[in-house]
Amino acid sequence: MDFESVLDKCGSFSRYQFVLLVLYGYTNILSSFHYFSQTIISFTPPHSCMPDKVLDSHGPTNITYSDRCSYTKWNSEESRNEQFKCESWKFERESNYESITTELEWVCDDAYKLAVGQSFFFIGSVLGTIFFGYLADRIGRLKACMLTTLTGALGDFITSFVNSLPFFSAGRFMSGLSTDTQYILMYILVFEYLSPKHRTLGLNIVLAVFYCVGLVISPWVAIWVGTWRNYLWAASLPALGVLCYPCLLFESAEWLLTKRQFDKAAECLRRIAKFNRRQVDENVFVEFIKYYHEKINMEQKTTNDTFMGMLRTPRLRKFTIILLIKSMIITMAFDILSRNMEGMGTSPFLLFSYTSFTYLPAGLTIILFQNYIGRKGMACVSLFVGAVITAVTGFLIANLDPTEHSLLLALMVGLGRYGGVVAYDAEAQYAAEIIPTSVRGRGMSNIHVVGYAFGFFSSYIIFLGTFYKPLPSIFISLLMFIGSALCLTLPETVKRKLPQTLAEGETFGVGEKWYYFPCFSQKRELPDDTISVATIENTRKAI
């Protein structure tokens, strides 16, 4: 008797799964607070030179402010104007909120410090994804989930005490270690203990609602606590709640099975049955343990597939490279569209909070339309529409006065975030279905790592806005157009038998036209079973 059969008897959508989903929602709130703390702490309000810093010993002089970073003062002795750099600034703080840029005056010549420090967040995310992913396979999903959450919270807490760029960079690096795994490991725990027919709806709805709640309230929390240091405390301290997880949750039984700890896996299922008030005969667990003992004894290796094997044959190599490039583009686009909130004529706190509501319709869009228009269609359209919206936003920023058209710009920012979220969520599922089962875990991990590695550049792309405000929008829209075009070269996966091995992956979707979308066709361009056994065997030999 296999795992799914026993889980069904113990309860696959009952009281325990409700607790799982609630804690999954709590994790999503922690994750949203954690990831976007880098946005909340770094808002830069309008500013100008401090008047009392440009007065000489004889009182006011003839001063002309060239821009917010410099001023011109008349030198009466030499009868000429002299250019000086500002040494201090007057900030128009939003609700008296003290951000890191206002407290440490990281503006003008020091504006690069914020971009440099924030980029270390993504360096940490790359190493953290690798390290905690490895740790999850060694010590278990639950323990690794707790450790990664506490590590990220500790990084935020340490950051709240810094006063210089080196220590700020170190704090952001530590904070970034938990960026991906904090969410993914909890997702896996829920996924494995939830009924298959409830997974898509349950996981997406909880993600959309709770992640949205975290984003909407985070700017208000920042205003309420008053300073960026207090905000980091408020964002990090709730992470201590994960210390209660072992009292409420059980380790992944499927992970225990991969470690051949069959008795412990059976014990987890017994406790779930008790929690769900299900009466399950002990013989069920005896048969469960016996089944996996026999499976291990009879199991033979049928494949030596590795992730590098995806680069040895032409079609899989093309798919892999495209998926890696798409991950780079979408990760940068998602981050930039979510953080580029300043200079729109509206308070960045209000703009960030209100546009975060787009996570709800974005999640519903995935649920309602992805099966209809297909994975390729959803990925392609979301990137294309997002690129158009972002390009138009850049054009409007360049040609409109933000103070007079703040509502229009806010609408465009919200639409851009909506497109970015849909593209981000669609890409994750699409990639998981294209990558063959035998290397899916390693493949997805590597794609995530590469995406976060290029997220390192998002802070610098946002920094381009200090030279010309529309530059981040223009740059990211071009990347999204490229990503949309690349989607057309990938095969459709909806309602098709997904590849299990690299050999099947190489022949998957052979003969499919680049313009094929299931919503425009009554039947597939080429059924999966038209690929001959001989073709698959020849491909296996090539791999």
pLDDT for res 486: 92
Q: What is the pLDDT of residues 478-537, one digit of tens each?
A: 999 999 999 999 998 887 877 877 888 888 888 888 888 877 765 444 444 444 444 445
pLDDT for res 18: 92
Phi, psi angle pair for 13, to nearest 5°:
-155, 70
Residues with Cβ within 8 Å of 302's Cβ and at least 6 positions away in sequence, in order, are: none
Residues with Cβ within 8 Å of 451's Cβ and at least 6 positions away in sequence, in order, are: 327, 328, 330, 331
Nearest-CA neighbor of 17 among 244, 248, 212? 248
Residues in the chain: 543
pLDDT for res 307: 75
pLDDT at 119 over 80: yes
Q: What is the pLDDT of residues 353-370, one digit of tens each?
A: 888 888 888 888 887 887
Residue 540 half-sphere exposure, CB side, CA atoms within 13 Å?
13
What are the tokens at 46?
């309008």
Residue with tokens 């500790």: 154
> CA torsion angle for 193, 198, 203, 209 (degrees, to 10)?
-130
pLDDT at 291 over 70: yes
Average pLDDT score, the chain: 83
The answer to whether the 1-46+92-299 and 305-543 domains have the same CATH topology is yes
Q: Cα–Cα distance between 477 and 329 in angstroms, integer?
A: 10
Q: What is the pLDDT of residues 37-72, one digit of tens each?
A: 888 998 888 888 775 544 444 444 565 655 677 777
Reported confidence tier of residue 226, pLDDT bands at 50, 70, 90? very high
Angle at alpha carbon of residue 256, lines to 252 and 262, rounded to 5°:
125
pLDDT for res 383: 92
Q: Cα–Cα distance between 69 and 156 in angstroms, integer?
A: 30
Q: Which residue has the higher pLDDT, 517 or 16?
A: 16
| Lowest-pLDDT choice from 55-64, 219-228, 233-242 | 55-64
* Distance from the first to the final alpha carbon of the chain: 35
pLDDT at 23 over 90: yes
Domain segments of the chain as ranges: 1-46+92-299, 47-91, 305-543
Average pLDDT over every residue of 129-152:
87
pLDDT at 384 over 70: yes
Angle at alpha carbon of residue 415, lines to 411 and 418, rounded to 5°:
140
The highest-level CATH class for domain 1-46+92-299 is mainly alpha
pLDDT for res 375: 84
Phi, psi angle pair for 17, to nearest 5°:
-65, -30
| pTM of the model as a whole | 0.78
pLDDT at 185 over 60: yes
Contacts 24+ apart (CB under 8 A), 111-114: 111/44, 111/463, 111/466, 112/463, 113/165, 113/168, 114/42, 114/44, 114/459, 114/463
pLDDT at 388 over 90: yes
Q: Cα–Cα distance between 231 and 94 in angstroms, integer?
A: 15
Residue with tokens 């909340």: 40
pLDDT for res 503: 83
Q: Which residue has the higher pLDDT, 493 or 19?
A: 19
Residues with Cβ within 8 Å of 105's Cβ and at least 6 positions away in sequence, in order, are: 88, 89
CATH number for region 305-543: 1.20.1250.20
pLDDT for res 533: 46
pLDDT for res 530: 46
Residue with tokens 């609408």: 411
The answer to whether 487 and 376 are in contact (CB under 8 A) is yes
